[in-house]
Amino acid sequence: MKTHLAASVLMLMSSGAFAEDLGRTLPGEVGRVAPALEAYSNNALFGTVWQKDTLSARDRALVTFAALMTRHETEALGAHAALALDAGVTPAEISETITHLAFYTGWGNATAAATAVAPVFEERGVKAEDLPAVEPDLLPLDEEAEAKRQDFVSSTYGDVSKGIVDNTQQLLFLDLWLRPGLEPRDRSLVTVAALIAAGQPEQMTFHLNRAMDNGLSKEEAGAMLSHLAFYAGWPKVFSALPVAKEVFASRAE
């Protein structure tokens, strides 16, 4: 471990506020109760995983925020919002991630996230005009793809719950997904992270394909899985690996 530590210290020295932010996500009690966990955090997680450029620090911070929000780990969201801001995520993107994941992981996770992030925004002087508009000009719709998606959902579940079929189209695919506050690639990134963190690999095929259509590379997707093992737990990622393997294979054909 000593070699790792030396290397990580060098890397951390090169990144100032960000390194301090990572340290702040680890409460002091960890060292007093589980010194080994503190060492794994500083060496393996902060000193190695977070430093790998297979996925940018900005993407890692966004994905981590999405995972913690999905898991209702609200006590950790303030520190991770600060980390994300220092890693280059904008306040507007954090705001829009919370709005997006209200639909994908539930309203209560989103309202709790807003409560946790509000003091960080206030401390940093974030103003209302820095946040995504309520009714922005929407991105252009891929009408053919949407018609195909809606036809499938409507013909499959229209008889089961017309409400969910209608809301999925009106609120999600004709509105939320077209909001410009978060790049489509990033919207997909936080959605896939949320599905992995929620233990719902069965819903991942559509969204991982969409993420890759929107610009996420295979290498980035693989690095996201590896990163999320620490924050969602190894078993959640091992249940997601077969789905990712299948998506990668189907796209290579």
Q: Which of residues 25-44 bind a second copy (CB under 8 A)?
A: 25-27, 29-30, 32-41, 44
Site string for a second copy, 76-115 (x = CB under 8 A): x-----------------xxx-xx--xxxxxxxxxxxxxx
Q: What angle do CA 226, 232, 237 make, to 5 degrees?
A: 45
To the nearest 10°, report the CA torsion of 124, 227, 106, 190.
70
User: Least distance in Å: CB of 128 to a second copy?
Assistant: 7
Distance CA 162, CA 46 (A): 47
State yes or no: residue 199 binds a second copy (CB under 8 A): yes
CB distance 179 to 98 below 8 Å: no
Is position 11 an interface residue for a second copy (rule: CB under 8 A)?
Answer: no
Site string for a second copy, 142-181 (x = CB under 8 A): --------------xx-xxxxxx--xx--xx------x-x
Q: Are 99 and 66 in contact (CB under 8 A)?
A: no
Q: How far is the CB of 22 from a second copy (least distance, A)?
A: 12
Q: Which residue has the tokens 């929000």?
A: 69
Q: Which is nearer to a second copy, 44 or 88 (CB)?
A: 44
Nearer to a second copy among residue 19 and residue 97 (C-beta): 97
Residue 187 touching a second copy (CB under 8 A): no
Q: How far is the CB of 111 from a second copy (least distance, A)?
A: 6
Please state, in angstroms and rounded to a whole number, the distance separating the CA atoms of residues 175 and 201: 25
Q: Which of 3, 13, 125, 128 binds a second copy (CB under 8 A)?
A: 128
Exposure string of 158-179, with b = 16+ CB inside 10 Å and e = fewer, is eeeeeeebeebbeeebeebbbb
